[in-house]
Amino acid sequence: MYKTKFLFSLFAIFLCSSFSFAQSSIIQKTDSLGYYKLNDVVITATKTPNNTLELANSISVIDSTQISNSNVNNVFDVLKNETGISFTRQGGNGTLSNLYIRGANSSHTLVLIDGVEVNLTNDPSGVYDFSALPVDNIERIEVLRGPQSTLYGSDALAGVINIISKKGNGAPKFSLLTEGGSYNSYKAQLGVNGSLQKLNYSVSLSRTGSDGFSVASEKYGNTEKDGYNFNNASALVGYSMSENAEINLYTKFLKSESDNDQFGGEFGDDPTYLTNQEEFSVRGEGKLKLFDGLWNQKIGLSFLRNVRNNSYDTSAASLNYPFYVNDYSWAHYDGRKYKIDWQNDFQLGKSNLLTAGVEFEIEESASEYYAFNYVPDPFSPDIASVIPMQDASTFGVFVQDQLKFNEGFFISLGARLDDHSKFGSQFTYRLAPAFMLWETNTKFKATIGTGFKAPSLYYLYDPAYGNENLNPEESFGWDFGIEQYLFAQNLSIGTTFFYNKFSDMFGFDYVTLKTINIKEAVTKGLEVYIEAKPIDELSFKANYTFTDARDTSPDSPDLDKKLLRRPESKLGFYTSYSFIPKANINAEVIWVGVREDIDFSTYQRTELKGYLLINLAAHYDVFDFLRLNARAENLLDTDYEEVFGYRTAGLSFYGGIKLMIN
């Protein structure tokens, strides 16, 4: 059935391609806007360079200037102010940090770093944890909202976050950053980038740490500080063999050590609970242009490994925990991912770009978990769970056609077929038309598509709860929006309505004690944004997202209840002002409405109150080679929780010096 659908879609796309090629005399009218900007060109929406004016996709871009001006250290802190994104962090930096696009689960977002899919294979839900990911050496971040499995396969049910590193250019440039601040926080970072004839390079090394504060909220009597240390190394090396051929090598290494607590709320403190994590990724990529760019090829080889260790020892009598009596626990999780992908772009006349690709991926995972009592306890038996290295593979093919017509009509349509070693075939599709009314510079856009998420290796193979008969989670979504561009594109305003339905979601069966496909959910809402640059020195952007995210599982006790930790309303504002040539100041405002969570002491729903955050950052270039940085977070010293029972940072100050040698 799926193969029939895919072949039919393939035929339809090639039929459109043939028609467009036959009409190659049609000239697109995009050149009528002479103020097209380079920073409007995105890659993630179609896997090819495209100006956002021609796209129906809902996509946000965070460039290196915004990242630099914000002075933050973590990618999570950059992303949480974006349109359509809600967020949670279980405490301060170094704790589990999740993002939710349009109300979907955090595991429904695919995260890419330089082309490597970094969603964790050793995590039960396959989520990506942003807790230790620094902003070092990042050129831009693209956030694509809506189902995207047609191009990206599994995990892209709700969207894609694509993180792209800086490429070296010109004479060598060296940078050295040191920073310190509240909670005895510190950061040191060294970077170098440049190019030499056909070779370009970009390297960054950094270490970040803090004494932290109690992850379990102090208002419940928790006082033990939970600190962290992060080490990061990243490199990008490229070589241009000719104008038509190049190779690139990307690599990244993260190592984190974090103190944590058992849980939020009363008795959550645990000075013995430690989490250590290492993540290594590497990708080799080759690009080749043939026939004067009419056929472009890209082939990539990727490898990802993530190792995580958790441990605690509550045997000390001084700890006196009512829930943990003389027990010790140690867990080890090892996940790996291998992938090869081949993409071909065919330029069929001026108005048609056809893309076809093939991908093959292998996931591997193993784990060990031990828990025992120093003093035998009949109510808390010893546990030993060992899952040997297990694997699953996926082979996928996709095709996409992008058509442009002379009256400002643009359309992208695609289809994909994946074959998984366990559940078999999965078909996905996507259609994205946009119409630009040039007389008023108004764009009407719409998308419709499907997504899926393969079951994690834990859900498939865990001896106690695994189920090798699981089907993938599926999503269906559409959106419709209007965007208005004014004053030579220095002002843009847009609104988008969205709807997503998720089915066959993974859940626990209390009868069979296994993971099964049982849950359903619907998220729908509205996104509004405004971006403006009235003068070169001043820019601002604001966004509002309304999300109604509910459990629609027919037999669930939570039927029609709100999905946890997702606010109905979220407002974001960001502005940057260079009031003199050598100085910049920027402000960020985030307002998050009420959310529902679980009070784990009673297992009842509770309401988390809304909150307002205001952050300020500034820098001043004393000399061309010396910059002073300053940052103030949570200026109102707001007391709030993102997850029930877990503390967040209060009013905090940070300052640093950056040396830049060209």
What pLDDT is recorded for position 267? Answer: 67
The pLDDT tens digits of the residues spanning 600-658 come to 878 899 999 999 999 999 999 999 999 999 999 999 999 999 999 889 999 999 999 99
Contact 310, 262 (CB under 8 A): no
List the structure tokens of 183.
């909670």
How far apart (Å, rounded) are the C-alpha atoms in residues 145 and 152?
13
- How far is C-alpha 310 from the geometric centre of its chain's CA atoms? 24
User: Residues 567-601: pLDDT tens digits?
Assistant: 999 999 999 999 999 999 999 999 999 999 999 87
Kindly tell me if the per-residue pLDDT of 394 is higher than 70.
yes
Mean pLDDT of the region 449-469:
94
User: Using CA atoms, how far apart are residues 357 and 45, in angstroms rounded to an integer?
Assistant: 15
Helix (H, G, I), strand (E, B) or coil at 454: coil
What tens digit of pLDDT does each residue of 442-457 get? 999 999 999 999 999 9
- Whether the per-residue pLDDT at 7 is higher than 70: the answer is no
Domain range for 561 is 2-661
Q: What is the pLDDT of residues 506-551, one digit of tens each?
A: 998 888 889 999 999 999 999 999 999 999 999 999 999 999 999 9
What pLDDT, in 10s, does the model give residues 160-190?
Answer: 999 999 999 999 999 999 999 999 999 999 9
Alpha carbon distances (Å) from 27 to 31, 351, 405, 661: 10, 7, 7, 47
Contacts of 18 (CB under 8 A, 6+ apart): none
> Higher model confidence: residue 211 or residue 272?
211
Which pLDDT belongs to residue 602?
A: 84
Rounded to whole angstroms, how far apart are CA atoms 90 and 215? 7
pLDDT score of 377: 73
| Over residues 338-346, mean pLDDT | 99
User: How would residue 37 be classed by pLDDT, with cut points 50, 70 and 90?
Assistant: very low
| pLDDT value, residue 220 | 72
- Through-space distance between the first and last CA atoms of the chain, rounded to whole angstroms: 60
Instruction: Report the alpha-carbon distance of residue 469 to residue 512 in Å, rounded.
Output: 13
pLDDT (0 to 100) of residue 319: 55
pLDDT, tens digit, for every residue of 480-493? 999 999 988 899 99
What's the Rg (C-alpha) of the chain? 25
Nearest Cα to Cα of residue 356 among 4, 17, 3, 1 = 17
What is the average per-residue pLDDT within 296-320?
Answer: 84
For the chain, what is the domain count? 1
Q: What is the mean pLDDT of the chain?
A: 90
We report the CATH number of the domain holding residue 370 as 2.40.170.20
User: How far is Cα of residue 555 from the mean position of the Cα atoms in its chain?
Assistant: 31
CA–CA distance, 531 with 542 (Å, rounded to integer)? 7
The two tokens of residue 527 are: 């996104």
- Other CB atoms within a 10 A radius of the CB of residue 624 amount to 10
pLDDT of residue 260: 79
Spatial CA neighbour of 402 closest among 438, 371, 431 = 431
Rounded CA separation 501/147 (Å)? 10
Task: Report d(CA 53, CA 55) in Å as an integer.
Answer: 6
Specify whether the CB–CB gap between 435 and 443 falls below 8 A: yes
Question: pTM for the full model?
Answer: 0.93
Residue 322's pLDDT band, with cuts at 50, 70 and 90, is: low
| 15 has a pLDDT exceeding 80 | no
Res 38: pLDDT: 38
| Residue 316 pLDDT | 58
Q: Rounded to an integer, what distance in angstroms lies between the CA atom of residue 201 and that of residue 234?
A: 11
Cα–Cα distances in Å, from 594 out to 186, 265, 562, 600, 611?
33, 19, 11, 18, 8
